[in-house]
Amino acid sequence: MSRIVRFHRFGGPEVLQIDELPEDKPGPGEVRIKVQAFALNRADYLYRHNMHAVTPRLPSRIGYEATGIVEAVGPQVTEFKIGDRVSNVPLGSPEYGVCGESALLPAYTLMPVPEHLSVEEATSIWMQYMTAWGGLISFGDMKAGDTVLITAGSSSAGVGAIQLAKDAGAQVIATTRTREKKHFVASLGAEHVIVTDEEDLGARVKSLTDGKGARLVFDPIGGPFLERCAAATAFGGKIILYGLLSGAPTVVPIIPMCLNEISLHPYSMITIFNDPVRRKAGLNYVAGRLACDSFRPVIDRVFPLDEIVEAHRYLEQNNQRGKIVVRT
């Protein structure tokens, strides 16, 4: 038996409960891992509220990324063996959830864990860095010398995007909503940090770029904030929208975007992972940068499994600086 986090109805953190369930037997191509830790993401919030692109089937498991030890392998699995230390690339499927003491996963979603990373760091790799690689490099064609605007810079995806952009030689302007996180975001390597509750985003970015604006904007907020992003984008630039954290409808500011030939690219990391060619390219890129320690996840806070509800409440407060992790 394993303790598994599930929800039997939609709603806030209080709907989460720990159920004792029999351990799943791996089917063809599947692996079961003994979970050491799992990370929380904003997608967890959307999923348990039934606001995610993927519809949960109640009672539903939850969770996207974990680190653990392989404890059982199914037929046709040759690349992993019992005892291997692995972390998983988020799949975005209602059939697989990793929050709990064990998790069943397709073998192709697993990656070996770099030896120099802690359990907490290892469980915080793939959502943030694959999201950043897919948006900025695969879709954004980011090059050294590009000016990139990364909004919500203190989130785990924002942290990953700043590290990736700096590593690739881009000039980074990042945002945070409040002044309290400004020093943290600057410490990640952003040349400039804009506090959006206090400053005019478009005017400030233009002043920092000799009136040009950012060629790439990487934004998880959407809603009315998209208009502010457009005002900060250079002529012929691109906005990559990978989330809807504002919770409000996103209206495209079509006139300024047309006049400035700005393109909008809605994006999900899941589309990258479902494409074998791009998946391989992204995994190789991130694994290479991890191996030479160019990428290093930032851990904000670690909770024990028994405090899963409190961990999700903390997630909803939006005060974290980096990743929230739960140890089993």
Q: How many other C-beta atoms can be found within 10 angstroms of the C-beta atom of residue 266?
A: 13
Residue 51: pLDDT over 90? no
Are 18 and 144 found together in one domain? no
Q: Residue 94 pLDDT > 90, yes or no? A: no
Pairing outcome for strands 214-219 and 233-241? parallel
Amino acid at 26: P
CATH number at residue 11: 3.90.180.10
Nearest-Å Rg of the Cα atoms of the chain is 20
With bands split at pLDDT 50, 70 and 90, how would you rate the model's confidence at 201? very high
Task: Give the model's pLDDT for residue 270.
Answer: 85
How far is 227 from 202, CA to CA, in rounded Å? 9
pTM: 0.93
Nearest to 117 by CA among 134, 129, 100: 129
**Structure confidence at residue 20 as a pLDDT band (50, 70, 90):** very high
Sign of the dihedral through C-alpha 29, 34, 37, 40: positive
Same domain, 173 and 266: yes
pLDDT surpassing 90 at residue 110:
yes
pLDDT tens figures, 222-249: 999 999 999 999 999 999 999 888 889 9
Tokens of 191: 């040349």
Domain membership of residue 47 (yes or no) is: yes
Q: Domain range holding 113?
A: 2-125+297-327
What single letter denotes the amino acid at residue 104? Answer: L
Query: Would you state the pLDDT for residue 17?
Result: 97
**pLDDT tens digits for range 137-195:** 999 999 999 999 999 999 989 999 999 999 999 999 999 999 999 999 999 999 999 99
Q: Are residues 199 and 257 in the same domain?
A: yes
